[in-house]
Amino acid sequence: MRTSFARSSQVDAIARVCALAEGQWGLVGLSQVGVSEKVLKQWADAGIVEPVADGVIRVCAGGRHPHPDIYAAWLRTGTKPAWERSTTSLVVSHRTAVRLYGAGQLAGEQLEFTGRAPEAAGVVVHSAILSEAECAVVEGLPVTAPARTLADLAVDDGFDVSDLGRVARSMLTAGWTTADELGPQLTAAFTRRGLPRDGVQWLSTALDAAQAG
């Protein structure tokens, strides 16, 4: 006679963690799964998981995100799986967006997001409602589109136009956008931020300043 055996709760827990990690670059927020500290330590001691950031672990056989600190910070803002989250409600922005685009490194250590979420240690959340046209997805993370990123940096952080010109040049060189697209989009982005400017002229001035500097 065949006897059936129920799976242990630990096996079920590992299965849940792996299912989430599969679609989240190997990372899982502890708020997404109900795992005790004791079980978590057993998994870590066995080499199954490793800590990435406060409240976020990585399944050791899973993938590695190019920016684990950014992904982990975004992941722990909610409990929904990454693939079910809105691409406009909370997005990477400002200086952190520049990092994600690989467009340089501007001064500032705190991670920056825009949208709706409580701030946490080391994270700044700029309150705003974004449209789909103002957002993109890079490395599995929602991020402000190039024009919105540049406008945010100019309005909120007051970076020198030559610094922003270098960021814009990097975005253009990497193919994230084109000059023909970016100029008009900057006009719309600046207007949305309450600072009407001719985006085509601003971009030309910024690129010239970056070249001269």
Q: How far apart are CA 207 and CA 209, in angstroms?
A: 5
Residue 70 binned pLDDT confidence (cut-offs 50, 70, 90): very high
Residue carrying the six token digits 């900057």: 186
Residue 51 Cα distances to 54, 123, 129, angstroms: 8, 19, 32
Q: How far apart are CA 136 and CA 149, in angstroms?
A: 11
Q: How far apart are CA 150 and CA 139, in angstroms?
A: 19
In this structure, what are the phi and psi dihedrals at residue 124, rounded to the nearest 5 degrees? Answer: -110, 130
| Secondary structure of residue 35 in the 3-state scheme | coil
pLDDT, residue 13, reads: 86
| Secondary structure of residue 106 in the 3-state scheme | coil
The amino acid that residue 201 corresponds to is: Q
Angle 30-31-34 from CA coordinates, rounded to 5°? 75
> CATH assignment of 1-71, given 3.40.720, 1.10.10, 1.10.3470, 2.60.120?
1.10.10
- Count how many Cα atoms sit within 13 Å of the Cα of residue 160 in the half-sphere of its side chain: 10
Taking residues 178-188, what's their average pLDDT? 97
Taking residues 176-184, what's their average pLDDT? 97
Q: Cα torsion for 48, 99, 170, 174, to the nearest 10°?
A: 30
In the chain, domain spans: 1-71, 86-213
Residue 8 binned pLDDT confidence (cut-offs 50, 70, 90): low
Q: Residue 42: which residues within 8 A CB-CB, separation 6 or more?
A: none
Taking residues 22-30, what's their average pLDDT? 93
Residue carrying the six token digits 């899982």: 28
Residue 7 binned pLDDT confidence (cut-offs 50, 70, 90): low
